[in-house]
Amino acid sequence: MKTIKEKKSRILFQCINYTILIVCMIVALYPVLYVLAASLSSYAFLAQGKVGIIPMGFNLEAYKRVLAYPMIGRSYMNTIFYTASGTLISLLMSILGAYPLSRRYFPGKNFLTKLVVIAMLFSAGMIPTFLVVRELGMYNTVWAILLPTAVSSFNLIILKTFFEQIPYEMEESAALDGCNHLQTLFIIILPLAIPGLVTVGLFYAVYQWNSYFPAMIYLRDRELVPIQIVLRDIVIQNQTTDLAVDLVNGADQVSESIKYATIMVATIPIMLVYPFVQKYFIKGVMIGSVKG
Amino acid sequence: MQNTPASTTPKVKLNKAPGKNPNKKSRKWKSLKYSYPLLLMFFPVFVYYLVFRYIPLIGAFIISIKKYQPALGLIGSKWVGFEYFQQFLNSVFFWRLIRNTLAINFFQLLLGFTAPIILALLLNELGSSKFKRLVQSVTYLPNFISSVVVVGIVVVFLSPTTGLVNSVISRLGMEKVNFLTEPSYFWLIYTFMVIWQTTGYNAIIYLASLTGISPELYEASNIDGAGRWKQLWHITLPGISPTIVILLLIRLGNLLEVGYESIILLYNPSVYSTADVISTYVYRRGILNGDYSFASAVGFFQSVIALILIIAANKLAKKYTDTSLW
């Protein structure tokens, strides 16, 4: 008797559970789908609020405007440069930091691990960091984007965990074969830690792709800014006049779709890559959280 | 700049680490031989932490007790003691900034901290299914969208002319609201934005700790006749409580920080009365106005409070639970 009753309430519970979770997914996806639909819709439908997740009055005018705007192309290339070189520098630095900390015998291991962890708990102030960057002559150079945020303690700890999972015997036998540390690292450890490198590399890449704050405070030169800054100017600060000025319909009408199209242009690469790499992200967070 | 030590490290090591005579030399010499290349390898990372993390941390205090003028340099600038701290404590903005910072945090703790726990518990009930993984990846997605885009979406959604929310409101026959210039809405808008962005991410952390609970505990309690709710109270929640405590502690350490990067994007002068927090004030005074010393004093004040909070919270956590950060 009891089991039947229990089974019934269990089924009821799972139904509610599935419903809630489906709602969660809709809430997570809806804004993105709406922006996509709105970017492809004509202004008439947008103004009436008729656009849902299906484009109404399909047209690519907004995208044509956005892609024809020289600042978009320029800043897009900058973002690609910052993402590629930033990820490389960050990965290299994290490997150099994580490998020694993951070894069994390493003098100062505890102290240096604390150095890394404390920096994760307390961020240095905005102003002193700004002044240090300026004193180093990095202000308004690409180095201000690449170096001050080069190492993330969280990612370093994730990588260290991946290295630690490789059996110590591997290092031992490599040493017996006459490998020094660098050879051990590159020939033995790194190939075995590829999932870890991919995870951490992706975290760094997404960070660089999405970051705007360092660019906002360190870069004066418009030629150097990443796409996120241009996106902010267009979408949040409403500087759409450059883009829409010579349009027959008047600036105001396209400017709304232009905002949506700009958002999509800056976000599409992440959307395209995400389904294939999300398992690394999930694994990375799980490892980082268990350790950190 | 930082690459130079990194690229010289390999050469040194390739020449100097023979690794051929293992047992002959004394232990100490051997361990030095072993660890020397490792120290060299770590050196660039050490320099990074020193230059970009610890020097600014200490420098913050020195700048804030001097009247820093870039032309004179830090050493040449005049000492002013705690003048800037006093100036901040007496300023008209002080209580407003404290109130806003605490209020935003309160909402985030209340809603933003519990939402991922609930999501993780619901997901955990699914066992291991494809659906579970699907929900996980979909709810995690917003975390990878840049804060500029997220704020941008909020701005276009709430736009008084073409925004989705207002077109629904006007269709319901109510008056349109300009949400982003109305101070009373800011805390809620910001809280929901952060929840949308971070819930999936944080849920994964709890899921990781949920999978760590031994299934035997559930089996044993099944035999004892414990129902689902009892299991939740006596096994599941105690099982993830260390994670909850740790995340809460980290949260407290960053309490005064709040997500200033998105607030700077989202706010505007008409909502400063509720949206301005300590970090955004530091940004405006320091970066925009160039009052480096004053802004550093405010920032340093914030760090000290954060430090006190995290130490106190850690003490409490140690006393009442078995978990603590150190």
Contact between chains at A126 and B152 (C-beta distance less than 8 A): no
Neighbours of A268 (CB within 10 A): 11
- Burial class for A167, CB neighbours closer than 10 Å (0-12, 13-18, 19+): exposed
A39 touches A261 (CB < 8 A): yes
Chain B residues in contact with A124 (beta carbon < 8 A) = 52-57, 60
A136 touches B68 (CB < 8 A): no
Chain A residues in contact with B18 (beta carbon < 8 A) = 178, 180
Phi, psi of A124 (to 5 degrees): -70, 150
Chain A residues in contact with B116 (beta carbon < 8 A) = none
Contact between chains at A130 and B287 (C-beta distance less than 8 A): yes
Q: Which of B7, B28, B43, B53 to mutate to test the interface with A (most CBs of A within 10 A)?
A: B53
Q: ipTM value of the model? A: 0.89
Cα–Cα distance between B308 and B300 in angstroms, integer? 12
Residue with tokens 């819930």: B199
Give the predicted TM-score (pTM) of the model.
0.87
How long, in residues, is chain B? 326
pLDDT of residue B11: 36
A152 touches A203 (CB < 8 A): yes
- CA-closest candidate to residue B201, choices B138, B249, B147: B138
From A38, A127, A274, residue closest to B144, measured CB to CB: A274
B253 CB within 8 Å of a chain A CB? yes
Contact between chains at B42 and A100 (C-beta distance less than 8 A): yes
Contact between chains at B44 and A178 (C-beta distance less than 8 A): no
pLDDT of residue B222: 82
pLDDT-wise least confident of A1-15, A24-38, B56-70, B151-165: A1-15
pLDDT of residue A241: 58
Q: How confident is the model at residue B192 (pLDDT cuts 50, 70, 90)?
A: very high
Chain B residues in contact with A132 (beta carbon < 8 A) = 51-52, 55-56, 59
Chain B residues in contact with A147 (beta carbon < 8 A) = 1-2, 48, 52
pLDDT of residue A174: 85
Phi, psi of B79 (to 5 degrees): -75, 135
Chain B residues in contact with A266 (beta carbon < 8 A) = 146, 148-149
- Chain A nearest-CA distance from B52, in A, is 6
pLDDT of residue B33: 75
Q: Which of A3, A126, A127 to mutate to test the interface with B (most CBs of B within 10 A)?
A: A127
Task: Give B80's DSSP letter.
Answer: -
pLDDT of residue B3: 37
B92 CB within 8 Å of a chain A CB? no
Three-state secondary structure call for residue B66? strand
Three-state secondary structure call for residue B79? strand
Domain formed by A70-292, architecture: Orthogonal Bundle (1.10)
Contact between chains at B1 and A147 (C-beta distance less than 8 A): yes
Within 146-185 of B, beta carbons closer than 8 Å to A belong to: 146-149, 151-153, 155-157, 159, 161-162, 164, 166-168, 170-171
pLDDT of residue B10: 38
Per-position DSSP letters for chain A, written without gaps between them: -HHHHHHHHHHHHHHHHHHHHHHHHHHHHHHHHHHHHHHTS-HHHHHTT--SSS-SS---HHHHHHHH-HHHHHHHHHHHHHHHHHHHHHHHHHHHHHHHHHSSS-TTHHHHHHHHHHHHHSPPPHHHHHHHHHHTT-TTSTHHHHSTTS--HHHHHHHHHHHHTS-HHHHHHHHHTT--HHHIIIIIIHHHTHHHHHHHHHHHHHHHHH--HHHHHH---GGG--HHHHHIIIIIS---HHHHTT-TT-HHHHHHHHHHHHHHHHHHHHHHHHHHHHHHHHHHHHHHHHH-
From A105, A112, A260, residue closest to B42, measured CB to CB: A112
A12 touches B125 (CB < 8 A): no
Phi, psi of B67 (to 5 degrees): -95, 85
A81 touches A215 (CB < 8 A): no
pLDDT of residue A57: 81
Three-state secondary structure call for residue B25? coil
Q: How confident is the model at residue B1 (pLDDT cuts 50, 70, 90)?
A: very low
pLDDT of residue A252: 54
Which chain B residue has its CA at the smallest distance from A130's CA?
B287
Neighbours of B144 (CB within 10 A): 24
Contact between chains at A29 and B144 (C-beta distance less than 8 A): no
H/E stretch holding B243:
helix B237-253
- Burial class for B292, CB neighbours closer than 10 Å (0-12, 13-18, 19+): buried
pLDDT of residue A119: 86
Q: What is the pLDDT of residues B15-53, one digit of tens each?
A: 334 444 445 445 555 677 778 888 999 999 999 999 999
Neighbours of A172 (CB within 10 A): 12
Low-confidence ranges of chain A (pLDDT < 50): 1, 245-251, 292
B247 touches A87 (CB < 8 A): no
Q: What is the pLDDT of residues B219-265, one digit of tens each?
A: 888 888 877 788 888 888 888 888 888 888 777 766 667 778 899 99
- ∠ CA A207-A213-A217, nearest 5°, is 140
Q: How confident is the model at residue B217 (pLDDT cuts 50, 70, 90)?
A: confident
Cα–Cα distance between B7 and B67 in angstroms, integer? 40
Q: What's at B190, amino acid-wise?
A: Y
A75 touches A226 (CB < 8 A): yes
- Chain B nearest-CA distance from A112, in A, is 8
Kindly list the domain boundaries of chain A, sorted by start residue: 1-59, 70-292
